[in-house]
Amino acid sequence: MPVTLQRARELFSLVRRKTCCPGTAPAPCIPFLYPDDGCWGRAHEMCRLMIADGASPKKVWIYGSLNAPTQNHPNCAVGWAWHVAPTLAVSTGSGSQDYVIDPSLCDGPVTKPQWKGKQGDSSATLVSSPASTFYRNKSGSITQTDPTYSKTNSVLTTYRNNLKLRCASSHGPPPYLACLTKPPGVQWFGTLGPNQTKRWFTWGWPARWHVFWTVMPLTHCPGAPQLWWDVAVERANATHCTYWITVKNLTASAVRFEGRYDILSR
């Protein structure tokens, strides 16, 4: 049965909440932040979660010379020969349209053409399958199922471990700062090591302005607070001030964040 787009968004949120904290990646989290490989395990686990919530997903497989931009790889992109994700039939009023549920690539449900467009090969081939198909090759001559989810758990374990290893390496945790564009209202990107406290300063602000400072984690880690911050101010001269922002990492893993500001009055 088709679902509403709102229901599809709720199911997207349901599976995305299972995102692994990259530094620890405890089971049964899903390693969306390691997009390099393991999509068939992620897709099967997402289908399991949606079916348990009363939904009826299917899957879509894409085959081609794929290259997908991502903030979660040090090279800012990943190359695949194939990829797979769950789909949901979404009611359009006059019928239904399939939407793809893929937190490794997208921030919400997207149509199949939108999903294909994110992967850089306009000639790529899309193939639909039941949710029960755990793995298939391009021709469909080899297919596997995993009704007990033992293969799924093995795949997820492998790529959870890869995520932890990358986080512990010189690359650090995702997202990778070289892949980010600084949006309006962000003064700086910062990184803190496990339980680290550090202070930043920003100078030349008109003292007559009312400026509000906050920090926002970029490293996904659902379940507990990640950062604490405090703001101090120095009157540098008659017309300008300097803000000193102290940020503390409350976790045992590295965290990247945005240092944000908002000018409330001038």
Q: What is the pLDDT of residues 60-75, one digit of tens each?
A: 999 999 999 999 999 9
Tell whether the model's pLDDT for residue 111 goes beyond 90: yes
How many whole angstroms separate alpha carbon 57 and alpha carbon 104? 17
- Describe the strand order of the beta sheet including 197-206 as a list of residue ranges: 197-206, 240-249, 227-235
Q: What are the residues whose beta carbons fall under 8 Å from the beta carbon of 113, sequence distance 6 or more? A: none
Q: What is the DSSP letter of 57?
A: -
How many whole angstroms separate alpha carbon 130 and alpha carbon 91? 19
* CATH of 5-168 among 3.30.2030.30, 3.40.1160.10, 3.30.1490.20, 3.10.620.30: 3.10.620.30
Determine the average pLDDT of the residues in 175-185.
Answer: 95
Q: Which phi and psi angles does 102 have, rounded to 5°?
A: -145, 80
How many whole angstroms separate alpha carbon 20 and alpha carbon 179? 20
Residues carrying CATH 3.10.620.30, the chain: 5-168
Using pLDDT thresholds of 50, 70 and 90, give the confidence band for residue 94: confident
8 Å CB contact between 206 and 240? yes
Determine the average pLDDT of the residues in 156-178.
Answer: 96
Tell whether the model's pLDDT for residue 223 goes beyond 90: no
* Predicted local distance difference test score (pLDDT) of residue 70: 97
